[in-house]
Amino acid sequence: MQELDAVIKKIGFTWPQGFHSDAMNVGIKADKLDFGWLVSEVPASAAGVYTTNQFQAAPTKLTKETINNGHQLQAVVMNSGNANSCTGPQGEANAKQVQEQTASKLGLDSSMVAVASTGIIGKQLPMAKIEAGISKLQLTDSTKITEAVLTTDTHAKTISIELNLGGKNIIISGFCKGSGMIHPNMATMLGFVTTDANVDADYLQSLLIDETNQTFNQITVDGDTSTNDMVVIMANGMAGNSEINQNNEDKAIFESGLKSVMTYLAKQIAEDGEGATKLVEVNVNSALNQLEAQEVAKEIVGSSLVKAMLFGEDANWGRIMDAIGKTDAHLDVTGVSVWLNGIQLVEQSQPVDGIDLEAARKSLATHNVVIDVDLGAGNASGTAWGCDLTYKYVQINAAYE
C-alpha cells in the first residue's frame, strides 16, 4: 500500500465533484448570512451522529430519522440565528416544512433532504422569511454556506484534502461551526463533510461514529452540550473509485483522510472557544485502554480550574492532578507523571526535584499549550482539545441574545 503521506495532501477549500451550495441573509439575523444549502448532483451515501442532549431539537430529530431511513441524502438545508429547539409540535412541523419546500425546489423526494439549525432556543422559525429564501437559493460554487452557519464563532472553519484511491483523485471537504456550549456527545456544533469518493453507506456510518469519538467528542470549551448538534457526511461517488467498504484495500487511506479532516475541524472549534486565548491539547499515555485515556484527557482539558490556571499563565500542576484523580480510570497512584509544554513537573506523583516553575510559567505565554500525562497503567493513549477560560467567555454568555 502507498505511504499515506504520499496520497493525502491539504488543498485550498473547495467542493468535491458534484457538490454545490448557496447562502444568503433571509432576515433571521440583522445583517449576516443566516441561511443556505449544500446540494449533491446525485444521491450520496450519508451518515450522521447527533447530540445526546435529551432536548433534541426538531431539525436534529428530523435529520436523524431521515438518514436512518435510507442512509442516502442529496441536500442539507441549514440556518443560523434560530435553533428551532424547545418549540413543540409547531417547531417539528416547521422543520418538516423546510425539508419539503427544499425538496420541492430541487425536484427531490423529501427523504433526500436533511435540515440543520443553530442559534437561540425557544423561538419559532420565521417561516415566511425561510420560504422566501428557499425560492431564491441557487446551485453555485460559492463557499458562503461555511459562514452562514456561524453564531458566536469568530471565523469560518474549513478544510479540504485530496487523496489518491486506486488511481483516482478524490476530495474530502469539511466545515463546521462551534464556539460555545462545547462538550460534545455532542456540543453546539454543526459539522458537514462532503466527498466525491464512492463509499458504502453502512461502512460510512460505522466509520463516522468511530472517528467522532476520537475527534469531535474529545473537545470541550465549557462543559455544556447543545440540543442541535450533529455531524453529517455525504459521499456521492462521482470520483469513480472502487467502492470503499470494510474489505476494500484502500480503506486505510480513506479512514486516515477522514480522520485528518475531522481532527482539524475539532481543533478549530476548541481554538475558537468563546473568549479563548489558547488552544490546549492534552495527551494521556500509558492508560489501561483507549477509553480511559480519552476520559482522563477530556477531564483535564474540561476542568474549570485547569482552564483558569492556563489563562492566568500559572503552572499550578496540582490542578492537573486533581482532574486526573476525579476520574475512575485505572492508574498508578504513586507513578503518575505530568509535563507542561515539555517541561516535566510531576514524577511518580510528586513534584520533580529542582522543578523549574518559572520556566513552565513562561511557556504558558504561547498560544498553544500541550499537557502530557503518563498514568503508568497500560499501553493505551488518548487526546483531547480545549481552551482556556477567560473573562471574555463570561461577558459573551452574559450578554448573548
What are the cell numbers at 230? 450533529
Mean pLDDT of the region 344-373: 93
Contact predicate 220/384, CB 8 Å: yes
Domain 279-398 has CATH 3.40.50.620: no
Residues with Cβ within 8 Å of 100's Cβ and at least 6 positions away in sequence, in order, are 110
Percentages (nearest 5) of helix, strand, coil residues in the chain: 35, 30, 35
- pLDDT level of residue 285 (50, 70, 90 thresholds): very high
Please tell me the predicted confidence (pLDDT) of residue 179: 58
- pLDDT level of residue 7 (50, 70, 90 thresholds): low
Mean pLDDT of the region 129-142: 97
Reply yes or no on whether 390 is catalytic: no
Contact predicate 128/35, CB 8 Å: no
Mean pLDDT of the region 304-315: 90
Range of lowest pLDDT (3-7, 94-98, 166-170, 314-318): 3-7
Please tell me the predicted confidence (pLDDT) of residue 192: 97
Please tell me the predicted confidence (pLDDT) of residue 399: 63
Please tell me the predicted confidence (pLDDT) of residue 355: 87
Whole-angstrom Cα distance, residue 96 to residue 334? 57
pLDDT at residue 183 is higher than 50: no
Residues with Cβ within 8 Å of 101's Cβ and at least 6 positions away in sequence, in order, are 130, 131, 134
Angle ∠(346,349,354) on CA atoms, nearest 5: 40
Closest CA to 124 of 30, 58, 55: 58
Contact predicate 307/298, CB 8 Å: no
Please tell me the predicted confidence (pLDDT) of residue 147: 95
Burial 122-140 (b: 16+ CB within 10 A, else e): ebebbeebbeebbeebeee
What are the cell numbers at 32? 449576516
pLDDT at residue 369 is higher than 60: yes
- Who wins on pLDDT, 225 or 248? 248
CB under 8 A, 24+ apart: contacts of 254-260:
254/163, 254/165, 254/197, 254/199, 255/207, 255/211, 256/4, 256/8, 257/8, 257/161, 257/163, 257/172, 258/172, 258/193, 258/195, 258/207, 258/208, 258/211, 258/233, 259/211, 259/214, 259/215, 260/8, 260/161
Closest CA to 6 of 235, 191, 175, 257: 257
Mean pLDDT of the region 355-364: 91
Range of lowest pLDDT (28-32, 44-48, 149-153, 319-323): 149-153
Please tell me the predicted confidence (pLDDT) of residue 229: 82
Q: By CB neighbour count within 10 A (0-12 exposed, 13-18 middle, 19+ buried), where does 347 fall?
A: middle
Please tell me the predicted confidence (pLDDT) of residue 400: 53
Mean pLDDT of the region 65-83: 96
- pLDDT level of residue 65 (50, 70, 90 thresholds): very high
pLDDT at residue 2 is higher than 50: no
Determine the 3-state secondary structure of 66 from DSSP. Answer: helix
- pLDDT level of residue 187 (50, 70, 90 thresholds): very low
Range of lowest pLDDT (185-194, 273-282, 351-360): 185-194
Q: How far is CA 356 from CA 223, 281, 342, in A?
A: 31, 21, 12
Is the pTM for the entire model greater than 0.85? Answer: no
CB hemisphere CA count around 336 (13 angstroms)? 22
Mean pLDDT of the region 242-258: 93
Whole-angstrom Cα distance, residue 228 to residue 225? 9
Which residue stretches of 170-289 are H helix? 201-214, 251-271
> What is the full DSSP assignment across 315-371?
--HHHHHHHHHHS-----TT--EEEETTEEEEETTEEPTT--HHHHHHHTTSSEEEE
pLDDT at residue 223 is higher than 90: no
Mean pLDDT of the region 200-224: 85
Beta-bridge partners for 24:
35
75-120 tens-digit pLDDT: 999 999 999 999 999 999 999 999 999 999 999 999 999 999 998 8
Mean pLDDT of the region 20-35: 96
- Which of 158, 188, 227, 383 is the catalytic position? 188
Mean pLDDT of the region 183-202: 80
Contact predicate 29/148, CB 8 Å: no
pLDDT at residue 1 is higher than 50: no
What are the cell numbers at 178? 462551534
- Who wins on pLDDT, 230 or 189? 230
- pLDDT level of residue 182 (50, 70, 90 thresholds): very low
Q: Kindly list the domain boundaries of the chain, sorted by start residue.
A: 4-271, 279-398
Please tell me the predicted confidence (pLDDT) of residue 226: 62
pLDDT at residue 172 is higher than 50: yes
pLDDT at residue 175 is higher than 60: yes
**Mean pLDDT of the chain, nearest integer:** 90
* Dihedral pair phi/psi, residue 73, rounded to 5°: -140, 160
For domain 4-271, give the CATH superfamily.
L-amino peptidase D-ALA esterase/amidase (3.60.70.12)
Angle ∠(309,396,153) on CA atoms, nearest 5: 95
Contact predicate 74/112, CB 8 Å: yes
Please tell me the predicted confidence (pLDDT) of residue 5: 53
pLDDT at residue 256 is higher than 50: yes
Percent of the chain at pLDDT > 90 equals 73
Number of helices and strands (H, E) in the chain? 12, 16
